[in-house]
Amino acid sequence: MPNLKAKIESEQRVEEILESLKKLDYLSRSQLQQLHDLGQKRNANRVLQQCSEFLSSFRDMENVYYLNKEGRERVGSTKIRKKTPQAKHFIMRNYIYIAFECPDDWKNEVKLGIKEKKIINKCDATFTRDKRRYIVEVDNTQTMAENKKKIEKYKAIAESGVYGSPAFIWITTTTYRQKRLMELSEDLDCQVFLLSDFY
């Protein structure tokens, strides 16, 4: 019986890991360790090896995992992911998801705006906490000019009150970009994290 119990628990953990990848697209080994309490690196690698028939991976400082064909079929995912430089964007976004304790209503790639004024922004993610809307943006490869345009739209959206009094969360790559985003976001309730804050 103990072996059966261990087998059921192992299968359940595999399922949970695959569901996380279905939701979040790409996850690094350290992110999976945090999300699923996989303990030390050695144990995490052992567990991920048990999932290997359902996963593909590539190296970007550490292993980054995503669902392969078998994994997508197992959890009913229709999104095909491949090895791509854009995966870093997803990894950065997932650090915010984990840091804010995996919000139940987290949604990726959501359009927000004021239709009648034709002001629309597609945010990288959004969730609510204590009835307040949080808007997540990843600053990885876009220009600061693009960020500036986006922030101007967010100021109009915040002023409209359509989403109550939203809070904004950015994650970026350098202290220069962090400072610039904070300057541009003056008048907004905004936090700007560095990628290096999370590892």
* Overall domain count for the chain: 2
Sign, CA dihedral 178-181-185-188, equals: negative
Q: Give domain status of residue 101, yes or no.
A: no
Same domain, 112 and 191: yes
Per-residue pLDDT, 124? 97
Residue 40 is part of which domain span? 2-84
Cα 169 to Cα 126: distance, rounded to the nearest angstrom = 10
- Answer for the pair 134, 67: CB distance below 8 angstroms, yes or no: no
Boundary residue ending a domain (25, 52, 84): 84
Q: Where are the beta strands (DSSP E) in the chain?
A: 27-28, 55-60, 62-67, 107-114, 119-129, 132-138, 167-172, 189-194
- If asked whether residues 130 and 67 sit together in one domain, one would say no
The 10s digit of each residue's pLDDT in 85-103 is 999 999 999 999 999 999 9
144 in a structural domain: yes
Q: What is the CATH number of the domain that holds 17?
A: 1.10.10
pTM of the model: 0.91
Residue by residue, pLDDT tens for the chain (199 residues) are: 457 666 667 789 999 999 999 999 999 999 999 999 999 999 999 999 999 999 999 998 899 999 999 999 999 999 999 999 999 999 999 999 999 999 999 999 999 988 878 888 999 999 999 999 999 999 998 999 999 999 999 999 999 999 999 999 999 999 999 999 999 999 999 999 999 999 7
Same domain flag for 154 and 80: no
